[in-house]
């Protein structure tokens, strides 16, 4: 009886499979990866290149037909007030959000690193703003920023007698208000990145510094910061990219207004495509964004690496 006997034939279902076990394995590995590659090519690489080629046309969004105009789209940008405005707004938005995020994130991470009653609960709650759907947050903050009934104006008036501000309808205050929302929502990202590293700094380093006579500020600069340096490099890069590319936050909160005061480059792309029905121009702006980011990233990483080597 041989209910468990197995024929020792090399299992060959198809005659076309190579007989060598090692080669069969290599191909299997590749085939398993194939779905990922296909997904990537079809839904990323191909659209990317397609999008870049679109920027060389003047296409009508509705009919998607139009003439090839070469680099005309890009030439008009140099003189386009829209583009200059959007670029300025993008930089304002990105740099301000980034700076505030780092400051707030660092402070909160430092605070959450300490031991105090209720710390675990505090950690969970403090970081919750990141997970709430953006639509929800945008809607709520719109409500809070409401000029007549919003709680913010009410509180400001009640506590400090400040007259109501039309946060989202005044071109001067719209961007700052949006930045407040952005920082409120994304600072947990910074905390989540910094906190684990903070927790690995050995207590002894601080004790040794204390014994050496270092003040709290000294300890922060000489013990804490060096451990965080590499993370900051990554954080700055990532947050810059995310904020620079962010469309949804501003689209939901202000729609780019008032009077394009909060129209950043992504929003301009959208407006070009659906407002002005010029798909080619929209694609061109997007390509510009891409180039800008790539150059910035490369330059930034070079500087960062040189900095690392210098301090090493």
Partner 1 sequence: MIANYRAREGVRTGFIFTVTWLVVLVAVFPLFWALSTSLRDNQEIISRTPTLLPVDFTLENYDTMLKLSNFPQQFSNSTIIAIGSSLSVVFFGSLGAYSLTRFRFRGQGLSLRVVLLTYLFPAVLLVVPMFIILRNLKLTDSYAALIIVHTATGLPLGLWLLRAYFQSIPIELDQAAMIDGASRLETLFDVLMPQAIPGMISIFIFIFVFSWGDYLWPLILITSRSQMTLPLGLHTYMNDMGFEWGPLMAATVVFALPVVFLFTFIQSRLVRGLGAGAGAVKF
Partner 2 sequence: MMAKLVGRSANVRLEGLQKVFGKDTLVVDIADMLIPAGEFVTLLGPSGCGKTTTLKLIAGLERPTRGAIFFGDQRVTDVAPGSRDIAMVFQNYALYPHMTVQANLEYGLKKHHVQRDERQRRITWASEVLQLERLLQRKPRELSGGQQQRVALGRAMVREPKAFLLDEPLSNLDARLRLLMRAELIRLHHTIDTTMIYVTHDQVEAMSMSQRIAVMRDGRIQQYDRPEAIYRYPGSRFVASFIGSPGINMYEGDLVSRDGVLHFVAQGVDLPLSSAIVERLSAPAGTKVTLGVRPEDVLLHVEGSPPDAPVGRVTVVESLGPETIVTLETTVGDVTARVLGMLPIDFDAQIPFSFDAARLHLFDATTGESVLRPGASTSSAKAFRSSAARLPSLVQQTQSG
Nearest residue to 269 via CA among 244, 242, 294: 244
How far apart, in whole angstroms, are the C-alpha atoms of residue 110 and residue 204?
A: 17
In terms of CB distance, is 5 or 120 closer to partner 2?
A: 5
Among 39, 225, 234, 276, binds partner 1 (CB under 8 A): 39
Q: What three-state secondary structure class fits 247?
A: coil
| Residue 65 C-beta: closest distance to partner 2, Å | 56
CB-based contacts of 192-197 (< 8 A; 24+ apart in sequence): 192/127, 192/130, 193/231, 193/234, 193/235, 194/105, 194/106, 194/109, 194/228, 194/231, 194/235, 195/109, 195/112, 195/113, 197/227, 197/228, 197/231
Say whether residue 103 binds partner 1 (CB under 8 A): no
Say whether residue 148 binds partner 2 (CB under 8 A): no
In the region spanning residues 90 to 129, those forming contacts with partner 2, defined by CB under 8 A, are none
Q: Which partner in partner 2, partner 1, none is near 252 (CB below 5 to 8 A by kind)?
A: partner 1
In the region spanning residues 196 to 235, those forming contacts with partner 1, defined by CB under 8 A, are 196
260: Cα separation from own chain's centroid: 22
Tell me the per-residue interface mask from 5 to 34 with partner 2, x by CB under 8 A, - otherwise.
Answer: xxxxxxx-------xxxx------------
Among 48, 103, 162, 295, binds partner 1 (CB under 8 A): 48
Residues 150 and 124 sit within 8 Å (Cβ to Cβ)? no
Say whether residue 158 binds partner 2 (CB under 8 A): no
Scanning 12-20, 94-102, 145-153, 300-308 for contacts with partner 1 by CB under 8 A, the matching segment is 145-153
Q: Which partner in partner 2, partner 1, none is near 39 (CB below 5 to 8 A by kind)?
A: partner 1
Residues 58 and 72 sit within 8 Å (Cβ to Cβ)? yes
In terms of CB distance, is 143 or 306 closer to partner 1?
A: 143
Residues 98 and 242 sit within 8 Å (Cβ to Cβ)? no
How far apart, in whole angstroms, are the C-alpha atoms of residue 281 and residue 89?
A: 19
Say whether residue 68 binds partner 1 (CB under 8 A): no
Say whether residue 184 binds partner 1 (CB under 8 A): yes
Q: What three-state secondary structure class fits 257?
A: coil
| Residue 247 C-beta: closest distance to partner 1, Å | 6
Integer CA distances (angstroms), 45 to 38, 40, 51, 290, in order: 10, 6, 10, 14
| Residue 188 C-beta: closest distance to partner 1, Å | 8
Nearest residue to 279 via CA among 41, 60, 44: 60
Q: Which partner in partner 2, partner 1, none is near 19 (CB below 5 to 8 A by kind)?
A: partner 2
In terms of CB distance, is 158 or 310 closer to partner 1?
A: 158
DSSP one-letter code for 164? P
Binding site for partner 2 (CB under 8 A): 3-11, 19-22
């Amino acid at each position: 009886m041989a209910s468990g006997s197995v024929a020792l034939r090399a299992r060959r279902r198809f005659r076309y499979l190579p007989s060598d076990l090692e080669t069969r394995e290599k191909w299997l590995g590749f085939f398993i990866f194939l779905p990922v590659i296909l997904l990537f090519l079809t839904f990323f690489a191909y659209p990317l290149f397609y999008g870049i080629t679109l920027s060389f046309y003047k296409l009508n969004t509705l009919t998607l037909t139009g003439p090839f105009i070469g680099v005309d789209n890009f030439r008009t940008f140099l003189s386009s007030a829209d583009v200059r405005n959007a670029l300025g707004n993008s930089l304002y938005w990105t740099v301000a959000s980034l700076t505030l995020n780092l400051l707030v994130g660092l402070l909160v991470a430092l605070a959450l690193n300490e031991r105090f009653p209720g710390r675990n609960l505090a950690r969970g709650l403090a970081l919750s703003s990141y997970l709430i759907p953006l639509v929800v947050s945008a809607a709520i903050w719109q409500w809070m920023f409401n000029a007549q009934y919003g709680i913010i104006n009410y509180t400001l008036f009640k506590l400090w007698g400040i007259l109501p501000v039309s946060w989202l309808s005044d071109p001067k205050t719209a961007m700052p208000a949006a930045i407040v929302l952005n920082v409120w929502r994304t600072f947990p990202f910074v905390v989540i990145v910094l906190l684990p590293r903070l927790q690995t700094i050995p207590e002894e380093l601080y004790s040794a510094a204390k014994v050496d006579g270092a003040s709290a500020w000294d300890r922060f600069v000489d013990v804490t910061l060096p451990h965080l340096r590499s993370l900051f490099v990554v954080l700055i890069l990532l947050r810059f990219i995310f904020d620079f590319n962010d469309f949804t936050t501003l689209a939901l909160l202000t729609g780019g207004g008032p009077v394009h005061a909060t129209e950043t480059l992504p929003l301009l792309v959208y407006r070009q495509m659906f407002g002005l029905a010029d798909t080619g121009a929209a694609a061109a702006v997007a390509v510009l964004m891409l180039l800008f980011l790539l150059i910035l990233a490369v330059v930034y990483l070079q500087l960062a690496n040189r900095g690392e080597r210098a301090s090493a």
